[in-house]
Amino acid sequence: MADESARCVATTRAGTRCKNRSQPGSKYCHVHLALGESATTPPDETAAGDAQTAERDEEALRREMAAEIDDLIEDLHDRSPEFEPPPFSPRAMVDLIKQNLDHLPPPMRADVLYRLRDAVAREDRFDAETWKGIWAMIHYWRYQQETFVQRLGNLPFDLPTEQLKKMANLFSEDLLDPDTWKGLWFMVSYSAKYQADVVRRRFTGEYETDEWGLDWEFLEAVRPFFTFLYKYYWRVEASGLENIPDYERALIVSNHSGQLPFDGAMIGTAVLTEHPAQRLVRNLYADWFPSLPFLAPLFEKMGQTLASVENGTQLLENEELVAVYPEGYKGVGKLFKDRYRLARFGRGGFVKMALNTQAPIIPTAVVGAEETYISLYKSDLLAKATGFPYFPLSPTWPWLGLLGLVPLPTKWTIDFGEPIPMDGYPPDAAQNLVLVSQLTDQVRNVVQEMIMERLAQRRSIFFG
Amino acid sequence: MNDTNVILVTGVAGYWGGRVARRLLNEPDLHVIGLDTEPPENVNIEALDYVQADVRNPLLPDLLNAAGVDAVCHLAFIGGVRRNETRFDTNVMGAMKLIGACAESRVRRLVVKSSTMVYGANANNSAFLAEDAPLNGGRRYGYNRYRLEIEAFINGFRRQAPELEMTVLRFANVVGPTADTPFNRYLRGPIAPVLLGFDPLLQVTHEDDVVEALAHATLGERSGPINVAADPPMPLLRILALAGRVPLPIAHPLAYQAVRWLGSSRLGKAIPFEPDYLRYRWVADTERMREELDFFPQFSGDEAVETVGTHLRLERYKPTADEMAYDEERLQQTIARRRQSAAAEEAKEVENG
């Protein structure tokens, strides 16, 4: 289509034909004009010998680097084709470095300068063409940064700059600097655009969930609430996070307490915010929750699943991090006088999951959750009438209505214990009921011990 | 080569029977017999060996033997939410008699179309329902009740006739521009009721994939129940958004009461399935479909729903009946047929002098 003679004849590093127009009087474009010959002509093959090979390697490396820079320039040029870098001069290059030195953190400045000086001193390694390339690249780069704000969107009105500057002088604060406000406006408008886009996509169905129902966008939306509870309300202290693997499967087995399953939420928040791999914990919940409006989709969209051996096994096979609370209703609904006394650890379904998949069990102790509600009595009558699995009566619930549901701001600690390996057993170990019940008791004892250890250190319920 | 070469399709005048017969007629070296009480309209009748009979006909074993039928694709099934004697007779008794006839004759394979709704929607459903999960489906609406009865009969009959391979394809919610299925009706209704505070994950299958899977299973070699659904399962609200429907949230106790009181009235049928199916998770495991049936749906879940959305959007602008464009293909066929018969008459006249 286009006039072929007006195109650059060089090939880029990606192996495609250069798209730029050639400079007048040359068959190369402005980028390849300098680098063209070296980037396209094949290296001389006559040289032989070890030293020469090494030299050729270095030569190839240099050429590769030059081509890479060349690629970057081309990419940057594509994004702002109207911009042309000023002509190269070594003097201006040094000035440029001086100017941009301020952008680096102070400890790095000297280091960068030393490196640059070394590079300049070894002239044979770093030729002028490369410098020219770097020169063009930095200019494109700075141009990109300068125009970034403009590309986000222009102010729909003119700021009364002069007046604002006067006020800024009066207070001599950054807060009254018109640029601060301009920046704030861009931030707000950008964030509003993003939010509007999220809302639009929700309405047109352009969002994704995984096959278990996990919706990351939703999770990110509700995350601040849980972070607030974690950081400021219960001031959770998590220890032993290094026991949780970064990628492999593992099964967290924890005590359960606190009438409402906030302990699961806090374990999830701990791993998501404090673990280096920021893993998502797949909590397994009881079969009462799928029938509750609002809670059922909430749990599902946060990536949690109904507790069953099949579900747990499948999740672990997908190398997920699964958390179970084998005490179940007996644990979460226990009376205040029974606090920190572990209930029966179910029928050992969690051990079967771990044995099926050879996933290590990470015993976990949550301390502090037991005191968030003070359950004095469990009413069977009310439980039957409301359909709840248990109906606690506390000094506040149900007398104060929903206000009685506000948990007490106790101080929490979550301890992740040493993993218990589960891979030393025969393949059909999950069918061995004796082994399963022994392992169940073993894990239960470990968790109980961890709780006792933590309780021994605790001075105050509210301050830890 | 394929060792199956004579195939009987029941319910050939119906939507699925017609489509599957047409699909099978495209296969080379295949003799397709269509069975129904009335002649099919859309199938190319010259290529199809049409037999006018009911599936409950006592002479069916003789027909199967005489024609040397190898495989039967049973698609004579009356859908719809209502339950009555006629439907029970056709759906359940028909299936029982057909299966009995197949066991009597030399038929080796039987394919029956079912639905993943037979698993039922329960709070303690496993996240992915495998084929051996218990069948606890709702029995209020006809289509699901009859399917449950057929499945129970097949399960019992497996032991009696081990040499007859019975494949039951359980399809997830079938969607698409043309099929008349409960979920399609739900998506096309004037309102889309949802249960307030529930957003279960649902699977869908595109109607073209249903036809393809049925043909694939009829010509294939697997037996037993197999779930067929497109990936990925999607939240109900996302499905409605993709189809361009606005959900109407109803508190769930109200929805249960509405179904109980309004029953089969028009309002009661606004949701063509029991509210539980909009409340709990009933996602079927499709591993067997991929591993054993070796079938991969052509449409992904969102693509399948989008075909409905596109169709619904276009339907608003469709011309009314009198200004509707003619169906060119059908008209051409009619003209060709007339021309042929005219030529034949002419030839006869010439012969007669």
Residue A3's CB is within 10 A of a number of other CB atoms, namely: 7
Q: Is pLDDT above 60 for A40? A: no
What lies within 8 Å, CB to CB, of B237 at 6+ separation is: B194, B199, B247
Which of A215, A294, A300 is the best substitution to test chain B (most B C-beta atoms within 10 A)? Answer: A300
Beta carbons of A212 and B239 less than 8 Å apart: no
Which of B227, B231, B234, B236 is the best substitution to test chain A (most A C-beta atoms within 10 A)? Answer: B234
Residue B53's φ and ψ, nearest 5 degrees, are -165, 165
Residue B193: strand, helix, or coil: strand
**Pairing status of strand A413-416 against strand A361-367:** antiparallel
Beta carbons of A211 and B234 less than 8 Å apart: no
Contact of B197 with chain A, judged by CB distance below 8 Å, is answered with yes
Alpha helices in chain B (DSSP H): 15-25, 60-67, 85-88, 94-104, 142-160, 182-188, 207-219, 236-243, 252-262, 287-291, 301-315, 328-352
Q: What is the pLDDT, as a whole number, of residue A175? A: 62
Q: Is pLDDT above 70 for A18? A: no
Q: What is the pLDDT, as a whole number, of residue A14? A: 52
Mean of the pLDDT values across residues A180-199? 84
Q: Identify which has the larger pLDDT, B235 or A161.
A: B235
Distance CA A74, CA A17 (A): 12
Q: Which residues in chain A are contacts of B197 at CB distance < 8 A?
A: 292-297
Q: Is pLDDT above 60 for A38? A: no
Mean of the pLDDT values across residues A298-324? 94
Tokens of A408: 């007490």
Q: How far is B120 from chain A (nearest CA, A)?
A: 14
Q: Is pLDDT above 60 for A37? A: no
- Contacts of the segment B149-155: beta carbons below 8 A, 24+ positions apart: B149/B91, B149/B92, B150/B91, B150/B92, B150/B95, B150/B96, B150/B112, B150/B114, B151/B114, B151/B118, B151/B225, B153/B92, B153/B95, B153/B96, B153/B99, B154/B99, B154/B112
Q: Which residues in chain B are contacts of A311 at CB distance < 8 A?
A: 126-127
Lowest pLDDT segment from A60-69, A166-175, A224-233:
A166-175
Q: Identify which has the larger pLDDT, A415 or A141.
A: A415
Q: What is the pLDDT, as a whole number, of residue A44? A: 46
Q: What is the pLDDT, as a whole number, of residue A191? A: 85
Residue B140: strand, helix, or coil: coil
Residue B111's CB is within 10 A of a number of other CB atoms, namely: 27
Residue B309's CB is within 10 A of a number of other CB atoms, namely: 22
Q: How far is A304 from chain B (nearest CA, A)?
A: 11
Beta carbons of B239 and A205 less than 8 Å apart: yes
Q: Which residues in chain B land under pLDDT 50?
A: 1-2
Q: How far is CA A313 from CA A112, A351, A359, A428, B129, in A?
A: 52, 10, 9, 14, 14
Mean of the pLDDT values across residues A10-18? 58
Contact of B302 with chain A, judged by CB distance below 8 Å, is answered with yes
Q: Identify which has the larger pLDDT, A125 or B306.
A: B306
Beta carbons of A300 and B195 less than 8 Å apart: no
Smallest Cβ–Cβ distance between B241 and the set A205, A294, A308 belongs to A205
Of the pLDDT bands very low, low, confident and very high (cuts 50, 70, 90), residue A427 is confident
Q: What is the pLDDT, as a whole number, of residue A9? A: 62
Residue B201's φ and ψ, nearest 5 degrees, are -80, 130
Q: Is pLDDT above 90 for A236? A: yes
Of the pLDDT bands very low, low, confident and very high (cuts 50, 70, 90), residue A31 is low
Express as a percent the part of chain A with pLDDT over 70.
Answer: 79
The gap between the terminal CA atoms of chain B, to the nearest Å, is 50
**Pairing status of strand B71-74 against strand B201-202:** unpaired
Residue A279's CB is within 10 A of a number of other CB atoms, namely: 17
Beta carbons of A293 and B252 less than 8 Å apart: yes
Q: How far is B281 from chain A (nearest CA, A)?
A: 8
Residues, chain B:
353
Q: Identify which has the larger pLDDT, A113 or A329.
A: A329
Contact of B127 with chain A, judged by CB distance below 8 Å, is answered with yes
- Contacts of the segment A309-314: beta carbons below 8 A, 24+ positions apart: A309/A349, A309/A352, A309/A353, A309/A356, A310/B126, A310/B127, A310/B128, A311/A284, A311/B126, A311/B127, A312/A251, A312/A284, A312/A349, A312/A350, A312/A353, A313/A352, A313/A353, A313/A356, A313/A357, A314/B127, A314/B128
User: Would you tell me the crossing angle of helices B94-104 and B142-160 to the nearest 10 degrees?
Assistant: 20
Q: What is the pLDDT, as a whole number, of residue B320? A: 67
- Buried residues in A187-214 as b, exposed as e (16+ CB within 10 A): eeeeeeeeeeeeeeeeeebebebebbbb
Mean of the pLDDT values across residues A209-230? 93
Q: What is the pLDDT, as a whole number, of residue B76? A: 93
Distance CA A332, CA A261 (A): 7
At residue B85's C-alpha, the angle toward residues B80 and B90, to 5°, is: 70
**Do residues A221 and A293 lie in contact, with contact meaning Cβ atoms separated by under 8 Å?**
no
Q: What is the pLDDT, as a whole number, of residue A60? A: 80
To the nearest whole number, what is the mean pLDDT of chain A? Answer: 82
Q: Which residues in chain B are contacts of A291 at CB distance < 8 A?
A: 123, 279-280
Distance CA A101, CA A93 (A): 12
Q: What is the pLDDT, as a whole number, of residue A36? A: 47
Q: What is the pLDDT, as a whole number, of residue B325? A: 60
Q: How far is B196 from chain A (nearest CA, A)?
A: 7
Q: What is the pLDDT, as a whole number, of residue A2? A: 41
Q: How far is CA B203 from CA A311, B171, B191, B248, B278, in A?
A: 18, 9, 20, 20, 12
Bridge partners (DSSP) listed for residue A322? A251, A282
Mean of the pLDDT values across residues A7-19? 59
Rounded CA Rg of chain A: 32
Residue A325: strand, helix, or coil: coil
The 10s digit of each residue's pLDDT in A265-303 is: 999 999 999 999 999 999 999 888 898 999 999 999 999
Residue A378's CB is within 10 A of a number of other CB atoms, namely: 14
Q: Which residues in chain A are contacts of B232 at CB distance < 8 A?
A: 208-211
Strands, DSSP E only, in A249-402?
250-254, 281-285, 305-306, 321-324, 361-367, 377-378, 392-393
Contact of B123 with chain A, judged by CB distance below 8 Å, is answered with yes
**Do residues A288 and A272 lie in contact, with contact meaning Cβ atoms separated by under 8 Å?**
no
Of the pLDDT bands very low, low, confident and very high (cuts 50, 70, 90), residue A54 is confident
Q: Is pLDDT above 90 for A219? A: yes
Nearest chain B residue to A212 by CA distance is B127
Give kind and range of the element (H or E) at residue A244.
none
